[in-house]
Amino acid sequence: MNTFIAVIGILSALLFFYLLKFKASNKQTNRMNRPKWSKYIPYKDEEKKAKSEDADFPDK
């Protein structure tokens, strides 16, 4: 019994990592009511902060 369950587990893990590589279907991505994660997770702000600061110009 446990061998069967272990095989199911291994197959599920392989399927999990295989599916994770693919982009989601258009039905999932092309819709208006998707949650806006960048509102909660400030990765753009962090980047903007870094980018908005004037860079040093080490050309001289």
Partner 1 sequence: MSKHQALDTFGRSGNPIIRSSAFQETTTSGERMSLEGAVNKTGILLFLTVLSAAISWNFQSPLMSLVSMLGIFTGAIAAISTFGFYFFFVGWIINPRPHLAPKTGPIYAIGMGFMIGIISQQAEAMFPGIVIQAVSLTFFVAASLLFAYKTGIIRPTQNFVLMIFAATLGIFLTYFFSFMFSLFTGSSFSIFTDTGWMGIGISLFVVAIAALNLVLDFDIIEQADEQGAPKYMEWFGAMALVATLIWLYIEILRLLMKLRR
Which residues bind to partner 1, rule: CB under 8 A? 2, 5-6, 8-10, 12-13, 15-17, 19-29, 31, 33-38, 40-44, 46-48, 51-52, 55, 57-59
DSSP for 5-37, please give it.
Answer: HHHHHHHHHHHHHHHHTSPPPHHHHS-TT---G
Closest by CA to 4, choosing from 12, 17, 16, is 12
Min CB(24)–partner 1 separation in Å:
5
